[in-house]
Amino acid sequence: MKIYQTNEIKNIALIGGAKSGKTTLAECIAFESGQINRRGTVEDKNTISDFRDIELERQSSVFSTVMHSEFDGIKINIIDTPGIDDFNGEVVASFKVVETAIMVMNAQNGVEVGTEINWRLASRYNKPLIFLVNQLDHEKANFDETIREAKHLFGEKITVVQYPVSTGAGFNSVIDVMLMKMLKYPATGGKPEVVDIPESEKEKATEYHNILVENAAENEESLMEKFFEEGSLPEEDIIKGVKLGLASRSMFPVYCASTKHNIGPRKLLEIIKSIVPGPDEVEPVKTTEGNEIPCKSSGPVSMLVFKTTIEQHLGEISFFKVYSGEVTESMDVINANNSSKERMTQLFVMSGKNRVKVEKLVAGDFGATIKLKDCQTNHTLNGKGADFKLEPIVFLDPKFRIAISAKNNADDEKLSEVLSQIKKEDPTLLVEYSKELKQIILQGQGELHLNVVKWRIENIFKIPTEFITPKIPYRETIQRSAKAMYRHKKQSGGAGQFGEVHIMIEPYYEGMPDQTEFPIRNKEEKIMPWGGKLVFNNCIVGGAIDQRFLPAILKGIMEKMEVGPLTGCYARDIVVSVYDGKMHPVDSNEISFKIAGMYSFKEAFKNADPKILEPIYDLEVIAPEDKMGDVMTDLQSRRAMIEGISGEGTYQKVKAKIPLAELDKYSTTLSSLTNGRASHSLRFFDYAKVPADIQQKLLKEYEASHKDEE
């Protein structure tokens, strides 16, 4: 394969709603560029993209597929992404490494949920967009209505460059208002015949042409001056203006297609070549320290791994983008994230599961390699002379939480290994082995996301599993001071056990003064692994307890805080003052004082007006205006505290604080309430006291379960 230089490379992502035709478009591009000699279909399950078992079963994309095409002297790297929000991590990773995205829209459905969600993602990551209105051959296709909806939702910078002469079964011609020509396609699609615009279309074409020229001219002062002087612009200046407008997101050109009949993809390749910015024509990538790395093949080698997959016969495949320098086969590189040394034993460019071996890749290009020892998605690999750590992909926070367990206990260890492997491929999946909750907690982007994880575990790795409602990681603390003592005394034949401990406990808060009731001889502050503090004061005078037993008392208290007295959840934010006790000259030992410390703490805790804290999350919901009533009613039923509502285009944004206990399957409910048009994000905020009625309910549940265990 030819080695392409940086100025000969274009990187694009195909985005849009499910069933909009992205995978079919990718197939047509592969066919038109000569990569394949026969087009497959999603229905026949033989496309280059969507080749994995779960995708063949669902007949829709679950993972992104990296492809490439060679066309008219350039190399086009393509990432075909899923259209469902649950798999948005694939889109986010793609946005990191491509310069432009192509938004594929279904002309029979107009602006769909997936279109809106991908628009918001593209806006968030500041990614230029080309719109491709697809399926214009469908009898219900409505191009004009699709454009009207798009302009209403996304703004007037949606600029028509092509429009269909007619839609439906006879669709075969589009008017190109940049060329001011009609493109007439043969029955098999492919290369169109360029002919004059029919008289009946000239007025409409001229109107669209004038809008295009004006929008293009606005992107550079010299073009605007020329436009005012001459009233129009030649084709090369229109292309220049469109390219500038696309790159700055001040213009979103619209093109036409019927990928089912291969109408449009070849022309799209020409468009990509002419207006999509190259990797050296956009803002340089930055390091974590904020330094820019120019995209030049003459620079030191630096690349970012943006995707990891595990294939049955190949093992782990690492996909990367070269941001600087030239990567060659057998090159040694250093992983900036863990300082490990790696060797690029083989270099490939990929198209689905097909791979082509290459000897060298230059700055701006995509590649893949296998058998790296200690490399994951988001790791930076540097060659000699580079000491960079590139800014990582910032994935969205998880929105859905569930517990998983193997149906057969013998599969527990194997399940852990499989989850670790899946996590390598999917950075948006969070796996927590919670010692506190005694559950494996999965967190992801939605119910479907985690259902797909379960499907893979059961169908690929053959481990029967079940989903369980996850427990809530409550916290326990106190609201006033209390004293207690406990004497541990045990005699069993030989040496006995004896330890007596008197303690006072108080609620801890930042900046609080030390208690003055007892003299503090020594003070220890422990930051608990689960949050909060324990302050341990040694107030023993006169040798009532030997100093060597104080660590054992502290250990007993900390063990009890790890299994809280109320619900078995972690305790936090407590000051303990050990002020008195008794010893036995023979029977006192560390275990005696550990037990005495544990039980004196438990007794004092229950007398100190204990309270249960629950995790509270910051919730942000973006929903259509007409669905806000249902969204607000649901939030209020979930004990949410609304903090503000603001407008965001045709949507409303709600910010609220909400307990984790009320978020069970919230993403599924929100999707149902808004027909899938809303999106939301979650982030942990803090712990807050649960209402009294809920505390009583939790105490009763814990007591009942504790009796069952006994």
- CATH code where residue 539 lies: 3.30.230.10
Could you report the per-residue pLDDT of 257-269, keeping only the tens digit for each?
A: 999 999 999 999 9
- In the prediction, which pLDDT does 519 show? 94
Indicate the DSSP class of residue 263.
B
Q: Which amino acid is at 222?
A: S
Q: What DSSP string runs through 95-138? A: HHH-SEEEEEEETTTBS-HHHHHHHHHHHHTT--EEEEEE-TTS
3-state secondary structure of 165: coil
- In the prediction, which pLDDT does 315 show? 86
Joined together, the tokens standing for residue 583 give 């010893």
Last residue of a domain, one of 427, 450, 471: 471
- Are 24 and 158 in the same domain? yes
Pairing of β 380-382 and β 439-444: unpaired
Indicate the DSSP class of residue 1.
-
- Are 146 and 14 in the same domain? yes
Q: What DSSP string runs through 306-370? A: EEEEEETTTEEEEEEEEEESEEETTEEEEETTT--EEEE---EEEETTEEEE-SEEETT-EEEEE
Q: Which residue stretches of the chain have pLDDT < 50?
A: 709-710
In a domain, 630, yes or no: yes
> 200: which residues sit within 8 A by CB, 6+ positions away?
none
User: What's the CA dihedral at 245, 251, 255, 259 to 10 degrees?
Assistant: 90
Indicate the DSSP class of residue 438.
T
- Are 132 and 194 in the same domain? yes
In a domain, 211, yes or no: no
- Are 84 and 156 in the same domain? yes
- In the prediction, which pLDDT does 710 show? 44
Q: Which domain holds residue 658?
A: 613-693
Residues 366 and 349 sit within 8 Å (Cβ to Cβ): yes
Residues 316 and 377 sit within 8 Å (Cβ to Cβ): no
- Are 350 and 268 in the same domain? no
- Are 431 and 541 in the same domain? no
Q: Which amino acid is at 173?
A: S
- In the prediction, which pLDDT does 693 show? 93
CA-derived radius of gyration, the chain: 32
> 409: which residues sit within 8 A by CB, 6+ positions away?
none
- Are 265 and 367 in the same domain? no
Beta bridge partners of 322: 303
In a domain, 700, yes or no: no
**Percent of the chain residues topping a pLDDT of 70:** 99
Please give the model's pTM, rounded to 2 decimal places: 0.88
Please tell me the total count of domains within the chain: 5
Last residue of a domain, one of 608, 624, 652: 608
Which stretch of DSSP H or E encloses residue 54?
A: helix 53-58
3-state secondary structure of 302: strand
- Are 353 and 424 in the same domain? no
- Are 318 and 448 in the same domain? no
Separation between Cα atoms, residue 587 and residue 519, nearest integer Å: 28
- CATH code where residue 419 lies: 3.30.70.870
In a domain, 647, yes or no: yes
Beta bridge partners of 668: none
In a domain, 505, yes or no: yes
For residue 358, the Cα-to-chain-centroid distance in whole angstroms is 31
Angle at 560 between CA 556 and CA 564, to 5 degrees: 170
* Nearest residue to 105 (alpha-carbon basis) of 77, 130, 69: 130
In a domain, 231, yes or no: no
- In the prediction, which pLDDT does 273 show? 96
- Are 511 and 655 in the same domain? no
- CATH code where residue 363 lies: 2.40.30.10
Separation between Cα atoms, residue 74 and residue 10, nearest integer Å: 7
- CATH code where residue 687 lies: 3.30.70.240
In a domain, 220, yes or no: no
- CATH code where residue 78 lies: 3.40.50.300
Let me know how long the chain is: 710
- Are 568 and 643 in the same domain? no
In a domain, 214, yes or no: no
- Are 369 and 437 in the same domain? no
Last residue of a domain, one of 471, 487, 508: 471
Which residue matches tokens 């010299």? 222
